[in-house]
Structure 1
């Protein structure tokens, strides 16, 4: 259903779908690149980690399902719904995942999400990836506002958000279901023009 707007969209339709999903460089020799079929084993293994499982209730059950997810990621890009990237080193080793979801071109808003593999935690991988993705989305693509939320119990994610220039705006009470029940969620946002901290 098409919305009748009295204002023009912040980002014109077709802006992203007109080109291939980009590979984005990040500080410290990181790259954000689209997921490849060969990444299915490491992606599936990531969801066996207790830290990732604690905060992510949607999990793939097999490599075939991961490949189906990757197909969906490509459709998301073509339909301008979302972008999904593997966070890698220059040598191609996957360190984590980052995504820009819920793209609203009319209002210029999208939501960020990420995880990092256990071996790469504590090295600033998530904050460097989030900073790079945010700069591309806000400064190059034309989004005005990026949001992210996380459980109030996920202190590491809160630090990543703050380090990447996402301001804590408040708490959404009982807003998400995790494996151990309902959690309050912190809402962070970064707006075009906000000072970049990472």
Structure 2
């Protein structure tokens, strides 16, 4: 049964699926691009890192599984379910991941997620990538609100969110399971028109 909306959708469907996934500049020689098969081994290596594993419980175990994820990412774009980007240097060197998930065209809301390779941490890469995808999603695509959440123990992710203009809105108590048990989660959001921290 189709649910009837009492208000028109915030965004019309087809805005993503009617065009190829773009490459987004993120400044200082960084760009966000679609994932490629050649990225699979580097993608898998990130999940061998203890710090990454601490915050990410959904983890691939083989290159073949990563390639299946990449296939799913392409389907997410075509079905307007998600936007998954590799964060890379212009010369192709992979640095991280940036994604918008749980796309809600009725309300104009999406959820951001990211990680950075261990060797690329501490250089502002995640905040530049998050700023780039947020500007594109809010200004070009038409989303009204972007959310992200992270463990209250993940100070680095909190700094990335704040630097990219995502205001801390509150704490979701005992909201996620990590390897060491349940964590409270900070909820951040950036709404169209918010000013970004400089």
Equivalent position of 1:37 in the other structure: 37
2:8 and 2:112 map into 1 onto residues whose CA distance is: 24
Give the deviation of 1:3 after TM superposition.
2.4
Q: Deviations over 1:51-91 (max 9, x none)?
A: 11100001001000000000000000000000100000111
Q: Deviations over 1:106-141 (max 9, x none)?
A: 000000000000110000000000000000000000
Q: How many residue pairs are counted as aligned between the two chains?
A: 198
Q: TM-score, with normalisation over the residues of structure 1?
A: 0.99
Equivalent position of 1:20 in the other structure: 20
Equivalent position of 2:69 in the other structure: 69
- Structure 2, gaps ≥5 residues long: none
1:61 and 1:119 map into 2 onto residues whose CA distance is: 21
Q: Equivalent residues in 2 for 1:3-152 (5 A)?
A: 3-152=3-152
Give the deviation of 1:28 after TM superposition.
1.3
Q: Deviations over 1:29-69 (max 9, x none)?
A: 10000100111000000100111110000100100000000
The alignment's C-alpha RMSD in Å is 0.7
- Structure 1, gaps ≥5 residues long: none
1:159 aligns with 2:192: no
Give the deviation of 1:173 after TM superposition.
0.2
